[in-house]
Amino acid sequence: VNIDEIPTPALVVDLDLCKSNIAQMAAALPGPSLRPHVKAHKCTALARLQRGAGHPGFTCATIKEAEGLFDAGLGDDLFIANEVVDARRIGDLVQKGAKVMLAVDSEATIEAAASGGVEEVIIDVDVGMPRCGCDEDDAARLADLARSLGLRVEGVMGYEGHAVHIRDLPKRNDEVQKSAYALLRAHDLVGGKIVSGGGTGSYNLNSVVTEVQAGSYVLMDGDYGTMALPFDQALLVHTTVISVHKKGWAVADAGTKAIYGTPHIVEGGDVMFSSDEHLAFVPEHPVRVGDRLHVIPGQLDPTIALHKGMWVARGTKVVERWQVDLSGW
């Protein structure tokens, strides 16, 4: 099948660019020094390529992602880098033979881990992003509590999400270092072999972590695309022009139900607005009804989560179809 024959809107992965992103990252962060975050792509086929590049473990955001990786035979070193208040489904996975570490940042989440059948936890520390993570000063107390309940404390995590998207490199580096040292101080108090953190924007800046949790690097998006990172845009949303107006604008068939974040039109053009099923834009060059238009989504993860599958192409030829099989919760 030629890529221009697939129904639109559709996600299309350039397989060669995707593989070169994987290889580039594996060269910078080989083996266990990268724990790819599957929330970026929610796709076991892609996780298998990452495993093939030498990374033994995966980071998950949801229990569903961990379950899907386990069902796909990729569940022998998982980390759910998120808090949960009902850990029984994770306990079931552990019973079946999965290795799953779980992030905790409070007494309640530690108790949920212990009562749900989790065996290994990682203390999640606030390193500057106002999201999950305990106070640095509270990390030791929580680690002791976890141990007293029979949990193995494998280390600490701290995600510097407030820093990874800073465009100015010296500023980004400063913020990453501040977070990294906060995490290191917490690790001194907690112990354990794992210091987990980092993302695509800090993959080569955060030198205190034993593993980087980057995910977006594998396909990239419009936001990361402006940051001079050495990864290529390997995913596009293919759309079709469905209306052309005499007053100068045109409309493609991919609205907010197909693209999350500010769309960037590869062929050029100014986006006017997106509605549910429409992308209204002023084309840079004349377009006709039926023309294909290629769009870089502003944000990768939530865009993929809007789709059931991705077409995988080499040049203009479709070579595979990957299911987005880790969606849901």
Ligand X SMILES: Cc1ncc(COP(=O)(O)O)c(C=O)c1O
**Residue number closest to ligand X, CB atom:** 199
CB of 67 to ligand X, least distance (A): 18
Binding site for ligand X (CB under 6 A): 37, 40, 81, 159, 161, 164, 199-201, 213-217
What is the Cα–Cα distance from 274 to 261, expressed in whole angstroms? 10
CB of 64 to ligand X, least distance (A): 16
Q: Residue 41 or 238: which CB sits closer to ligand X?
A: 41
What is the Cα–Cα distance from 124 to 288, expressed in whole angstroms? 52
CB of 82 to ligand X, least distance (A): 7
CB of 39 to ligand X, least distance (A): 7
CB of 221 to ligand X, least distance (A): 8
Q: Residue 159 or 322: which CB sits closer to ligand X?
A: 159
CB of 197 to ligand X, least distance (A): 7
Which residue in the block uniquely carries the two structure tokens 């990729």?
A: 74
Contact 140, 154 (CB under 8 A): no
Q: Residue 94 or 304: which CB sits closer to ligand X?
A: 304
Q: Residue 35 or 307: which CB sits closer to ligand X?
A: 35
CB of 106 to ligand X, least distance (A): 17
> CA 199: distance to chain centroid?
8
Q: Residue 200 or 240: which CB sits closer to ligand X?
A: 200
What is the Cα–Cα distance from 6 to 25, expressed in whole angstroms? 30
Q: Residue 31 or 268: which CB sits closer to ligand X?
A: 31
Q: What is the dihedral of CA 75, 78, 83, 88, to 10 degrees?
A: 30
Q: Residue 8 or 59: which CB sits closer to ligand X?
A: 59
Q: Residue 215 or 283: which CB sits closer to ligand X?
A: 215
The amino acid at residue 8 is: T
Distances in Å between the Cα of 142 and the Cα atoms of 75, 96, 130 are: 27, 28, 19
CB of 116 to ligand X, least distance (A): 20
